Structure formats: C-alpha cells, structure tokens
Amino acid sequence: MSRNSAFNYYNKDLRPNARSLRKNMTKAEVCLWKYGLRKKQRMGYTFNRQRPVLNYIADFMCKKLKLIIEVDGSSHDSPKAFEYDQRRQRHLEEAGFRVIRFRNKDVLTNMDAVLMAIDKVILELEDGAESGPPP
C-alpha cells in the first residue's frame, strides 16, 4: 500500500494520544515490547507500539504483516468493554488487519507461550502472503 493510496489507515489525529500511551505503557506491554517485539526480535519484523490505526490506537502493530497485537488487562472484562473490543476488532479486520489478543497475566507469567503464539501467527501470515490469491 503506497503512502498516497486511497485508503490510509494511519490516523494522525491520534498521535498525541499515542505518544502519551507510549510513555505510560502497562507493565505487561513493557515486558512484551522489551522481551519480544522491539528491535526486530520477532522473525525480523518491525513492530510499532501504541500505533494509531483507523479510529483506534493499537498496542502493537507490524505494518508489513498488517498484524495487531493487543494486551488486555482487567478493564476489558466488563460487558461494555468486551462489546467495544469486539466492534473495534471487527473494524480492524474489515480493514485487512489480523488482530490477536493476550491477557496481561499471560504476558507476565507465560511469556514463552505468548511469543510462540505470535510466531505461529507470523508464519501463517507469511504463508498467506507467499501463496497469494487463488487463480
């Protein structure tokens, strides 16, 4: 997707909020960033943290794979928050993103499993990109 394409998912209006969120990441987000996503640690792919996408700010995003990783704490447990997360995920998926979610607890207590799950999704996305659309 070129920078001048008709559909640009980057929302520059959310930049100030994204900057603030980067400065105030949760403990789980910091751990995933530090031990799993920064400096191309995941199979050589670049991830950005707190990235404005559509009308949302994704916790982590790999632009090349169109992969979004969300790290959810207990604030996502309420029915209202669950509904919002579902609607948000649907909008992101309709725009062509793959969204995966992890609980704070899982990131903090089982990082190896979280990283293996991320690697598995990356491999799936790579396989899909290589095979291309059916003839």
Q: CB of 28 within 8 A of CB of 71?
A: yes
The pLDDT of residue 66 is above 50: yes
| Nearest CA-CA partner of 89 in 69, 106, 65, 109 | 69
Tens-place pLDDT, residues 90-131: 999 999 999 999 999 999 999 999 999 999 999 999 987 654
* pLDDT (0 to 100) of residue 128: 76
Q: What are phi and psi of 103, to 5 degrees?
A: -85, 145
Sorted by where each begins, the domain ranges of the chain are: 12-126
Query: What is the per-residue pLDDT across 9-46, written as a single tens digit (0 to 9) for each?
Result: 888 899 888 888 888 899 999 999 999 999 998 999 99
At 57, the pLDDT band (50, 70, 90 cuts) reads very high
Q: Report the CATH fold assignment for 12-126.
A: Endonuclease; Chain A (3.40.960)
The radius of gyration of the chain from alpha carbons, rounded to an integer in Å, stands at: 15
pTM score, whole prediction: 0.84
Antiparallel, parallel or unpaired: β 67-72 and 98-103: parallel
Position 74 scores a pLDDT of 65
C-alpha to C-alpha distance for 75 and 9, rounded to whole angstroms: 26
Please report the pLDDT score of residue 17 as a whole number.
Answer: 85
67 compared with 73, residue with greater pLDDT: 67
